[in-house]
Amino acid sequence: MRRKLIAGNWKMNGLRASATHLVQGLLEGLAGAEPPCELLVCPPACLLETVGGLIAGTPVALGGQDCHGAEAGAHTGDISAAMLKDAGCAYVILGHSERRSDHGEADDLVRAKAGAALAAGLTPIVCVGETAAQRDGGRTLAVVEEQLAGSLPEPGPGQALVIAYEPVWAIGSGRTPSNEEVGEVHAAVRRWLEARLGGEAAAAVRILYGGSMKPGNAAELLAVPDVDGGLIGGASLKAEDFLAIARACA
Ligand code: PEP
């Protein structure tokens, strides 16, 4: 039985004061109760220490939004997986479509980053998803499978892995695929994982849906078979919205 994961991708938003306010709102909303899912927040790197300090000892986990594929060295402006781990992270988002488009990240780079994350003891959340043109061209499953094949690290024993299916056209747009369309992709991802990892290991991988998930549509999206949680952008910046999505897991 996979426990659902609701992960907040804060992207390039927040300063110490607003991040503190947001986390305080989350913790007040939880009121010491165990949430019906695993909760994760992924703030910008410079806020990891502030946010990590506030959520220490609570059911909210900490994650990074990216890491470098190398262990250490001359990579100005980059952050290693070990640095994220040292800052208290358990997860790191990799291959988000905004990294792929803003920074030209291709599958092989995402794969190197995922390998580095695993080596540092982090769980990578590897993002895949088609553009509007690819969906319109009937290529959604082919694109997603190609990204999985190119972006995932070589399988290894006990490997912790999360996949996020995020249609590029649904991110920040207020548009979502139909529940049937989401179910079709998630089922295809599960089948692909079964063929690659075997049934038992594939069954342990959580497949998140991401793209305009909000309190109003979360319950139906989270009820789709093989949707094991959500990667939430805009709605993770409001404590009440993020908690309402988490409650929709119940
Ligand atoms: C995201 O960027 O991962 C995302 C899902 O964004 P939004 O929820 O704002 O669509």
For the domain that residue 95 is a member of, what is the CATH number? 3.20.20.70
Q: Which residue has the tokens 């900490």?
A: 62
Cα separation, 185 vs 162, whole angstroms: 15
Ligand 1 proximity of 121 Cβ (cutoff 6 Å) = no
Ligand 1 proximity of 129 Cβ (cutoff 6 Å) = no
- Catalytically active residues, by annotation: 96, 166
Instruction: Specify if 184 maps to a domain.
Output: yes
Ligand 1 proximity of 95 Cβ (cutoff 6 Å) = no
| pLDDT for position 150 | 98
| pLDDT for position 85 | 98
Q: In this structure, how many other beta carbons lie within 10 angstroms of the beta carbon of residue 34? A: 7
How distant, in Å, are the alpha carbons of 122, 140, 156, 208 from that of 167?
A: 24, 9, 28, 12
Please count the structural domains in the chain.
1
Instruction: Specify if 31 maps to a domain.
Output: no
Which of 6, 171, 238 has most ligand 1 atoms within 8 Å of CB, for mutation? 171
Structural domain for 94, as ranges: 5-17+37-47+60-65+78-247
Instruction: Specify if 202 maps to a domain.
Output: yes
Using the atom order of ligand 1, give the atom closest to the CA of residue 234.
Answer: 9
Instruction: Specify if 30 maps to a domain.
Output: no
| pLDDT for position 157 | 87
- Quick check: helix, strand or coil at residue 234? helix
Task: Give yes or no for a contact between 23 and 48, defined as CB atoms under 8 angstroms apart.
Answer: no
Round to the nearest angstrom and report the end-to-end CA distance of the chain: 14
**Residues in the chain, pLDDT under 70:** none
Instruction: Specify if 189 maps to a domain.
Output: yes
Cα separation, 176 vs 169, whole angstroms: 8
- What's the predicted TM-score (pTM) here? 0.98
Instruction: Specify if 73 maps to a domain.
Output: no
**Whose CA is closest to 107, among 147, 79, 75, 54?**
147
Measured in Å, residue 73 CA sits from the centre of ligand 1 at: 31
Instruction: Specify if 116 maps to a domain.
Output: yes
| pLDDT for position 162 | 98
| pLDDT for position 32 | 81
Instruction: Specify if 25 maps to a domain.
Output: no
- Quick check: helix, strand or coil at residue 4? coil
